Amino acid sequence: MATNNRNSKTQFENMKYEIANQLGINLKQGYNGDLTSREAGTIGGNIVKKVFQSYTGNQYPQYDTNNNK
């Protein structure tokens, strides 16, 4: 069971770095205290979207996040 947990953690780490790269966010191994809250939230939000889509097979609703009101 420990092997499955380690494999899941590795898959999550890979997904996190892949999403950050796609978004143009410089995510590095270890401490990332130089990221803004917006950048960190964007990575986390996209992880949730990807997990939701893979679990349900449905596209997560898209919202305009560039509207800075």
Structure tokens at 29: 């191994």
| Residue 23 in domain | yes
pTM above 0.85, yes or no: no
| Residue 61 in domain | no
| Residue 47 in domain | yes
| Residue 66 in domain | no
| Residue 69 in domain | no
Long-range Cβ contact pairs of 7-14 (< 8 A, separation 24 or more): 12/47
| Residue 45 in domain | yes
Q: Tell me: pLDDT of 29 over 80.
A: yes
63 versus 12: the higher-pLDDT residue is 12
**pLDDT of amino acid 6:** 77
**Overall domain count for the chain:** 1
- Residue 67: pLDDT band by 50, 70, 90 thresholds? low
| Residue 52 in domain | yes
**pLDDT of amino acid 42:** 94
Structure tokens at 11: 């898959």
Q: Tell me: pLDDT of 69 over 60.
A: no
Nearest residue to 52 (alpha-carbon basis) of 18, 17, 15: 15
User: Which residues constitute the domain of residue 51?
Assistant: 2-56
